[in-house]
Structure 1
Amino acid sequence: MKNRSVTSFHLPLEYGENVIEVLVQSPDCIYAYWELSREYKDMATRHFKTAWSHLSLSLRLYQVTCMPFDGRNECRYTEYTIESHCSSFYFSQTKAGKAYVVDLGVTNQGKFLSLLRSKTIMTPLDRVNLPQGDIGDIHTEKVLIQAQKNIVNLPSSGGQ
């Protein structure tokens, strides 16, 4: 039998890609992570005619429920200024059952330039959504109430 030596492997800190991904953590929290290439940073510095260090990295969280959003139409958003070395962020004030889009961009003298846009994501409801107007609703609601009672009374699996 041959002895195999194990060599260490290091993941790169960056891959030189332009990507932003958003994940739902809970009905009231969204997690975003991104990578911004040197090419995109250079493009932003050329656009504003200033050094990257003079630009503010910003995230815009758009609430786009019931609205097709293309970035040009008016939409409610919250803007967050973040440190330029950051590559992820938690949005902890989202609402249940709403659709969101995140833009990563830079701001200079009040002007925002979007560099990356996430896909649209939907936060889950924070309650059971029962259909209305059907006699089966009463039965369904009773089953759910009983299931909740059963969950509370489950024994712990602490190896006793």
Structure 2
Amino acid sequence: MVEEILALKKKGYTIKQIAQEMDSTIGKVQYRLRKLQSQQHTSAPKKEMEYESHQVSPIRNIPSSYELDRIVLLPQGPESIYIYWDLQSSTRHMVSHHFRKPWSELNKKLKVYDVSDLLFNGHNSHWNIDISLPEMTDNWFLNDLEANRTFIVDFGIQPDSSDFFTVLRSAPIETPRDESDSKRLVAVERWKAGDCQSPEWLEQFSTYSIYSLLK
């Protein structure tokens, strides 16, 4: 029956004319044609997708150091700061020479200062803590801090029998406010209202480096 339908279609017959010629119904003719189309679609070989190959250049090795003397603080939230640092080879060499020890044998630490509302001179923080660092460490997460406080972080060496020796000092950074903290907002409003001549806070830090200590 299908062959007859196809033969009549080639002659230009319409579906209605094919049905009349074959003494059938239009619905049966349409059904036979749809079934034939479905079979042809299923049996047709699938074309494989062709992918153009692209040569990907290898990722360059990330250097272990960028030869910069810097320590950077990035706030991660009201109670958290991310710290990373880098040192020049020449700086590490000078520190090693100063303490007469290889760099890998020196006791490295971070010292964290709360300097909120202070003219910081290196000693007058509200509080400070020391964090001992594993060898080869160049970053640290500092958690459980207070919101809306100003912090400075030193990277340095803790000798066995003397005071902490600062190698790098960060710029001050303030942790974000939380919803319950209104201290600074009140101070700003007092200043705007003329109740005080200047805002009731001051954030500065002293600038000294290892180079001045080694001269």
Q: CA deviation at 1:4?
A: 6.9
Query: Normalized per residue, which structure has more strand?
Result: 1
4+ aligned runs moved over 4 Å, structure 1: 128-132
Distance across 1 between alignment mates of 2:64 and 2:96: 22
Matching of residues 61-140 of structure 1 within 5 Å:
61-71=112-122, 73-75=123-125, 76-109=127-160, 110-127=162-179
Instruction: Select the structure that is richer in helix.
Output: 2
CA RMSD, 1 decimal: 2.0
Gaps of 5+ in 1: 133-160
Using CA pairs below 8 Å that are at least 6 residues apart, which structure has the higher relative contact order?
Answer: 1
Which of 43, 51, 56 is the equivalent residue of 2:107? Answer: 56
TM-score, normalised by the number of residues in structure 1:
0.72
**Residue identity in the other structure for 2:75:** V
Partner of 2:65: 14
1:38 aligned residue: 89
Name the SS of the counterpart of 1:34 in structure 2: strand
What is the distance in 2 between the residues matched to 1:51 and 1:13? 18
Alpha-carbon distance, 1:129 to partner: 5.3
Where structure 2 has 5 or more consecutive residues not aligned to the other structure, the ranges are 1-52, 187-215
Task: Output the CA distance in 2 between the equivalents of 1:92 and 1:15.
Answer: 27
Which among 74, 85, 105 is matched to residue 23 of structure 1?
74
Larger Rg: 2
Deviation at 1:51, TM superposition (A): 2.1
Distance in 1, matches of 2:71 and 2:146, equals 21
Distance 1:129 1:90 in 2: 23
